[in-house]
Amino acid sequence: MQLICFKRHRFPPDVIRYAVWLYYRFTLSLRDVEDLLAERGIDLCYETVRCWANKFGPAIAANIRRKRGRADCVWQLDEMVVKIGGKRMFMWRAVDKEGEVLDILVQKRRNKKAALKLLRKLLKNQGFVPEAIVTDGLASYKVALRQLGALARHQPGRLRDNNRAENSHLPVRRRERKMQRFKSQGQAQRFVSTHSAIYNTFNIERHLISRNNMRHFRSAAMAEWNAASAAA
């Protein structure tokens, strides 16, 4: 895990880390984070928060990914439509059956080439072939998996069979509305890649566990965040 360099910044590392955590952990705008920090006596501009989020968010997310365990052996894939700069694009998403976001890829097309790009990236980053790949009825998945030699692991299912991937879109939809839509394909890709790693850390599914376990998992999540964002 690489320590984060906060040198040549006017504010101390703890303030920067806290601002980045607020922005990616909760459905807050940049101005919301500015107001929360102002209430604590920290006077800065929301553009400063934007710069911190863009600079330090990806580095922290990369540290989190390095420490995460191996994904489950069943992957669920889905894609959703997003409007970016007035153009219709597609956000391809892969999660495992535990709800862990494996990868998100923003692409202009919804075809075999796009599906193939997602699957190749997944297999490269995860380092193994899953036991099953569950998708909706989009034919592009079948063609791409046949080309990769993994068609036998394909499980095209009904909508309810792919609920993990479908529900996984909801946090991004909330952020998209809060941000008044993404401004470009690159900005959307940077945000969702960082957001997904931090979302995985704090997604403890508290509605499925006892209060004592929730406290334990929440403390572990904060410890993971503190380690990933530690200053050099």
pLDDT digits (tens, 9 = 90+) for 12-29: 999 999 999 999 999 999
Listed in order, the ranges of the chain carrying CATH 3.30.420.10 are: 74-183
Q: What is the pLDDT of residues 138-155, one digit of tens each?
A: 999 999 999 999 999 998
Q: Cα Rg for the chain, rounded, in angstroms? A: 19
pLDDT tens for each residue of 171-201: 899 999 999 899 999 999 999 999 999 999 9
**Model confidence, pTM:** 0.90
Residue 207 has pLDDT above 80, yes or no: no
- Rounded-to-integer distance, Cα 183 and Cα 38, Å: 27
Q: 143 by DSSP, 3-state: which?
A: helix
Rounded Cα gap, residues 210 and 11, in angstroms = 39
Please give the Cα distance from 120 to 83 (Å, whole number): 25
Paired sense of beta strands 74-84 and 87-96, if any: antiparallel
Specify the fold of 74-183: Nucleotidyltransferase; domain 5 (3.30.420)
pLDDT given for residue 162 in this prediction: 56
Quick: pLDDT tens for 31-87: 999 999 999 999 999 999 999 999 999 999 999 999 888 888 999 999 999 999 889
Contact between 130 and 153 under an 8 Å Cβ cutoff? The reply is yes
| DSSP summary character for residue 181 | S
